[in-house]
Structure formats: C-alpha cells, structure tokens
Chain A
Amino acid sequence: MSSVLFDVPGPKARARNRGLAVVGVLAIAALIGFIIYRFAVAGQFDGKMWTWIEYTTVQEDLLSALLNTLKAFAAGAVLAILFGAVFAVGRLSDRAIFRVPSTIIVEFFRAIPLVVMIFAFHYGLALGAPFYSVVLGLTLYNGSVLAEIFRAGILSLPRGQGEAAYALGMRKTQAMNLVLLPQALRAMLPTIISQLVVLLKDTALGFIITYEELLRYARYLGGIAEFGRPLVPVTLVVGAIYITMCLLLTALAKYLEKRNRRNKKVTPGVAAKGEEIQLTAEAAGGGAAATL
C-alpha cells in the first residue's frame, strides 16, 4: 500500500517495517495475554462464572432488558428527529419570534450534559417512570444536535435551489418543504444515522437513574452470588451486544453514504458540513460551539 505520507517501501524499509510489525504484534499479544491472564487468575473464566448464560430465564431477562434499551432508543430517535426538524426550520425562520427562541433552546440543550438533564427530569421534576426522563433527555439533547445537522444541510444547498423555488412563485414554506428539506434530508441521511448511534449509546445513561435497560440488568446479573458474581463476563457480553448494535447502524450509514455518492440527485459537498458537526457530536456531546 502506498500513501502520501510514506514512499512505497524499498527492501530496507520493508525489513524495518517487518521488524516493527513483529514488535507490534508481540506488544499487542502481550497486552491481550496479560489481560486474559489476569481474568483467568481472578477466576473470571471459571465455568461457574459463565453458567448464567445457559439459564433460559436469564436469557429471557437479558432479551427484555435489550428490548427496553431499544424502546428508549426508538422513542428517543423518532422524537429527536421531529424535534430536530421543527427547530432547524425554526432557526432558519425569517421571523424573530420563531428564530430567537429556537436558537436559545437548541444552544441551551446542546451545552448541558445529558446526565444533568436526566437527573433534573427524574429527581427534580419527578416525571415518574425513569423511561420518561431518559426519553425526554435523549430527545432534547440529540434533537438539538440533529437540528444543527438539518440546518447545516439546508444552508449548504446551492443558493440557486431556493431562488429557483421563489422564482416559480413558491412561498417560503413551500420552498422549504418541497425543495430544500427533501434535498437536505437525503444528503444528511448518513450523518443523521450516525447521530442515532450516539443516541443508542446514550440510552445506557438510563442505568444511572435505574431504568431497567441492558446495563442495569448487567449490574443486577453481575451481583448474583449464585453465579459467582460474574461481573467481568457479563460486561464482556453486554459490551459485545452494544458494539454489534452500533456497528450495524454505522454500516447502514456507510451504505447510504456510498449510495449517495453514486446518486446524481444529491448535491455534492452538502454532506461534508454535516460530517464535521457529527464527528464532534459523536463524542456524546455536540458542544455549544460546533462552528457553522
């Protein structure tokens, strides 16, 4: 493989790279080996620690905990997309009465940690079941980030698109709904889905306010004495489940991105702006400062 950063390696460089590769493999193997060794010494690989996985009730409970995670994800995703669309249009409005409040709301909810929001809703407002606080938090936070993504998508469309719509005699609402939003949505779809990965990961925060989701069940399962308190095995399994779900969503985003690149209906360059917002939003926080 050649890269801009280094030449195609010659014989000397190949030998050196091979040497480095060997050192690298040894170092990584040593690290993984050490981790496995510590796990083994701590008895985490004992048969007893893994028996829980064979119980039908445990499997069923694990599945229903996963369903709870997915429920929060689905509700949060739908509401966040709605919230995002409404507030993106609000921020782009010509009228200050819509624009100013939308801007304040979006910037406010992006600047506050989701944990603080969830705490405030659950313990402060006592919304009842933890599910509501989790979903409300996910909606407000990710909805605000999505609003920025939608807005960036609309703003980065060629000016001619809006102008042509007005030239045809469309009203602002028509131009937005019929011309601008559909194009922006299509271009932003991969970014939107990547943001949903963030939302999926954030459902794990429900753990903190005792929402009975996957991580909460892991905590419970890991504490059962009968199974030898299998915290490490449970963490590994639950981690694998989360990573698989997120990778599936990421794969969908990548597929759509590839299709977008082939599709002539998508304005090139529009998606790039969204990617920049997303990259930073993905760290599980949009930051009040994603520059636009």
Chain B
Amino acid sequence: MDVLFDNLDLYGPGFLTTVELFALAAVGSLIWGTILAMLRVSPVPVFRAAATTYVTLFRNTPLTLIFFFFALAFPLLKIVQISFFTAAVTALILYTSAFVCEVLRSGINTVPVGQAEAGRALGLTFGQILGSVVLPQAGRTVVPPMVSTMIALLKNTTVAAGFSVVEAGAIQSYLSERGYNVFVGMLWVALFFIILVIPMTLLQRSLEKRWSVAR
C-alpha cells in the first residue's frame, strides 16, 4: 500500500496519461480503421491495393519500431515538431487501425449476401450499401473482437514508457530512483490495468447482447 500512497504524485498523472493516450488513440484508430476497411472492399482496385499494403505493412511491424520511428527518426525529418505524447498517439493510431480494419472486414464477411443484394436491388450505391446496410450490421457482429482490440490498444499504451512518455508503464524508473520496491510498484500498475479492463469486458457483454443482429 505504501508504495502506492507515497507516490501518488507519480501514479496519478501516470494513470491519467494512460487513459488520455488510450481515449485519443481509440477514437483515432476506430475512424482510420473504418476508412481503411471501406477502402479494402471498394470497387476501385487501386484503393483496395493501397489499403491492403498498408494493413500488411503495419500488421507485420513491431509496435516498438513504429514508436522508435516517431520518437527518434521523425524529428530529424523536420516536418512538424510534435511532442512525445502526440508521437505516441500517432504511432498507436497507425498500428491499431490496421487491426481495426481487419476485424471490421471479417465482420463484413459475416453479413449475408442477400443484404447487399437487396440494397443493390433498391438501387443503392456502393457507399449507401456500405454505410446504411452492411457496416452497421458488421459493426454489431464484431463488438467482441473489437473490444478485445481496444483492450490490446490499452495495454499497448505502455510501450510509450520506453520512449519518455510519462504514463503508467514509466512509473518503474521513478520508483527505483526513489528507492521503492519496483516489483510491488509494478503490481499496482498491473492492478490498474486489470481494473480498467474489467469495465470494458462488461461493456462488451452488454453491447453484445443489446446490439446483436437477429439473423
């Protein structure tokens, strides 16, 4: 207990940064991931190829390497000066959106063929079919894997600790400076993540029940 309460000045801002990183990256990667998924099924081959390449590249690159690029190599290019926090959010969005895209695409595959056919029979365009018929149904079926992807994102925010973003994962270096037991300190961090994950799991269950599509 002492480790937590003696160092609340560390844990408080650390946990807060984790939540901020997560919230921004979650919204960003859901938006960018959905756009990628739409590109991947679009009628224009160039768009499909571009989105597929993007997903392949980012799925097969370690997140640490993407962080590495944004934290160390990107500033050398002098395009814009961004803070470590912005760099971390960008890296997380670029990485996670590839997985969001894949989850959504697997959801699109579960929507019965007849749904899209009915849309086409009504004369809807590709955008309308995707936007009003297919994606809403796909989105509902992929609630469980999507929440799991978001939980993965939450855990991935800790990689930022390796690149001087002060969030929950970075607490250990300050603890050891102050002479506290790092292992106990990390157990508190672990507990924090479990506490954050539980409501997400509950949300997942309730959304799954409420949003499930009758088929």
Closest-CB distance, B34 to chain A (whole angstroms): 15
Q: How far is the CA of A201 from the CA of B57 in the complex (A)?
A: 12
Closest to B53 in A: A28
Taking CB atoms and an 8 Å cut-off, the chain B residues in 2-42 that contact chain A are: 41
Give Cα A249 to B140, complex, Å.
31
* Contact (Cβ within 8 A) B145 A279: yes
The total of Cβ contacts below 8 Å across the A-B interface reads: 227
State whether the Cβ of B179 lies closer than 8 Å to any Cβ in chain A.
Answer: no
B: contact size bracket? 35 or more
Q: Give Cα A13 to B204, complex, Å.
A: 40
Query: In the complex, what's the smallest C-beta–C-beta distance from A151 to chain B, in angstroms?
Result: 16
Q: Is B213 in contact with chain A by the CB < 8 A criterion?
A: no
Closest to B38 in A: A5
A54 contacts B by Cβ under 8 Å: no
Which B residues from 133 to 176 make CB contacts under 8 A with A? 134, 144-145, 147-159, 161-162, 168-169, 172-173, 176
Total contacting residues, chain A, CB less than 8 A: 69
Cβ of A124 and Cβ of B183 under 8 Å apart? yes
Please give the distance in Å from B184's CB to the nearest CB on chain A.
Answer: 8
- On whether the beta carbons of B72 and A231 are closer than 8 Å, the reply is yes
Q: List, in ascending order, chain A residues with CB within 8 A of B73's CB.
A: 222, 231-232, 235
Q: How far is the CB of B35 from chain A (nearest CB, A)?
A: 13
Complex Cα distance, B119 from A43, in Å, reads 53
Given A119-B182, A235-B73: A280 and B145 interface contact (C-beta under 8 Å): yes
The 9 A-B residue pairs with the shortest CB-CB distance in the complex, in nearest-first order: A124-B183, A285-B152, A287-B151, A280-B148, A208-B162, A204-B62, A287-B148, A246-B60, A283-B152
Interface residues of B (CB under 8 A from A): 41, 43-47, 50, 56-57, 59-65, 68-69, 72-73, 76-79, 96, 99, 102-103, 106, 108, 113, 116-117, 120, 126, 129-130, 134, 144-145, 147-159, 161-162, 168-169, 172-173, 176, 181-187, 189-190, 193-194, 197-198, 200-201, 204, 208
Could you list 8 A-B pairs, sorted by A, with CB under 8 Å? Answer: A113-B156, A113-B169, A113-B193, A119-B186, A204-B65, A246-B59, A279-B99, A285-B148
